[in-house]
Structures are given as structure tokens and as C-alpha cells.
Amino acid sequence: MPESAEAVRQALAQPGQEPFGSRLAAAMAARGPLCVGIDPHPGLLADWGLNDDAAGLESFSLTVVEAVASLAAAVKPQVALYERHGSAGMAVLERTLAAASDAGVLSIADAKRGDIGSTMAAYADAWLRDGSALAADSVTLSPYLGFESLRPALDLAAESGRGVFVLALTSNPEGKSVQHVGGPESVARRIAEAAGAENRRYPAALRTGGLGSVGLVVGATIGGALVDLGLDLDAVHGPILAPGLGAQGATPADLRATFGAAYPAVLATSSRGILAAGPTIAGLRSATESTRDGLLDA
């Protein structure tokens, strides 16, 4: 455990000093395995008494960061909900990421980017390059043009001390039509194995039982799919971002049962379940603490 709250803040707010996986492992040990999604849906903005515009977006986002920064291992802004406001929305996202960095909480830009060649390199430059206004501590990626198409982001993340979360096994019904194909040699299994191979570039972390910086996105509500497809997430040696806790139906006990031996690497995400407790700082903090404590008890 870090010696003080300030020590935690300093340790987490310096991309490039340590690999993302090491910083995330420290954050999870210090604050618990919770990621709070920042999802400014129009309905939530209305519930908070905010307008569905850039000003409402900024008030919502900065309030969440202020409330949860000292309680959660990470925050995860949903990029699409900023993009829908055009350039003004993306400017709010830049300020939200900067606020998270200033507050010493890790950020995951939920952008789900994926492309090839120079286009993928440009996405990597936007989300992972030191000095970029959109640079987050990590970004979600889609590997469905081939895992190796993500190479520019994988390499730049390693160089800059940042991380990536690669979509592997999502809980939406449509995902099965791609991710489950192949049975014992499923697409999802190949993605997981590729991520595990990539994490070998972080030997110092792995020698101490830590985490590599290439994580996977695996839905919290996938049930027995890991067993059905023969996925060994423990062998990935990277963080598992598990959306679906709370409003989407997954409980801490469900996560423990679903992920088994890989549970210590699981960063569970709750968005609406916590955000519904706003707009007050006290309400958001109480919901965050309750959710985090449930995960620790599991």
C-alpha cells in the first residue's frame, strides 16, 4: 500500500515513469478493483438537471471526477457520448482527461478504436502519445481487423507507459456471432492468447506477479462463456476490464464466479449504478464506496 493519499496520486499521475499495468495494479491494491464509467447519456444529464449540451457535459464529467478520484482505481469516459456534441464535446473530453490526471486517478478512454496502417497509427497518436490533448492512461481497442493491426497502438503504449484494453469477449448478444466462432479455437481465445504473448514485453511486472499493460475487455455478464470456449484469462497476465457491474445486472459474487482464478486481475466497471446517485458529490461518493466495498468483500 502506498504511504499516503498523496503518494498514490503521485504514483498514478506520471505516465512514462512506470508501465500502465504496474500503475493500475498499484491503484487496485490501494483503492480496490473498481472503475467508474463516465457516461453522460442525455437521460442522465436530464436527471441531474443539466442541459444536453457541452456545458452540461462538462459539469457532469468534472463532478464525477471530483467525487470518485480518491475512491476508484480508474475512470472510463465513454468517448461516443462526447463525440455526439462535436468539437465542443471533444474539448470537454480533453478537460475531463486532464482533470483525472490532475486528481491522480487513472483514465481509460473508451474509444474502441481499430484500423490498419497509418490510420491505426493516427488513432494511437491521438490517445497514447505524450503531449496529445486526448492522451489517456489507456484506451479500448477493437481487434477485428486482426490483432496485429493494433501494432502501432501496442508499441506506442509500451513506449509511453500507457496501456490498452482489447475487446475479447463482450456480453452483447451480437458478439457471439464473431467472438465465439471456432469453438475450442474461437476468435476470443486467439485474441486472449495474443494479448498474453504481448504482455511478455513487461517481464519486470510479470516476475513479481504483477500485470502487463495489454488488457482485455470481457463482459461481466458472460456467464459460463469462459469455460465453454476454454479461455484461460489468468494466463494473459494483464488486466481484465469487466463492464456490466450494477445496472447491467452483474454482482460482485457473479464476477468472482465468472472469472475464477483471474479475479484478482479484474477491474470491474460500474457506470449507471453509480451515476444515478448524482448529482451530489456525497451521493456519488457513497455509491462508489458501496460498490467498491462489495467487490472487496467478494
Q: Can you state the angle between helices 54-68 and 281-297, rounded to 10 degrees?
A: 50
Residue 213 backbone phi and psi in degrees, to 5: -100, 5
Residue 266 backbone phi and psi in degrees, to 5: -85, 125
For 53-65, b/e burial (b = at least 16 CB within 10 A) is ebebbbbbbbbbb
Helix (H, G, I), strand (E, B) or coil at 115: coil
Helix (H, G, I), strand (E, B) or coil at 169: strand
What's the CA gap between 73 and 23, in Å, rounded? 10
Q: Hey, how many other C-beta atoms are within 10 angstroms of the C-beta on 168?
A: 28
Based on the residue annotation, tell me whether 112 is a catalytic residue of this protein.
yes
Active-site residue identified among 54, 62, 94, 112: 112
Radius of gyration of the chain (CA): 18
Residue 21 CB-half CA count within 13 A = 33
**Residue found by looking up cell 504482455 in the block:** 199
Q: Which residues contact 149 (CB under 8 A, 6 or more apart)?
A: 114, 115, 116, 120, 143
Which of left, alpha, beta for 138 (phi over 0: left; psi -120 to 50: alpha)?
beta
What's the CA gap between 297 and 77, in Å, rounded? 26
Burial of 120 (0-12, 13-18, 19+ CB in 10 A): buried
Catalytic residues: 112
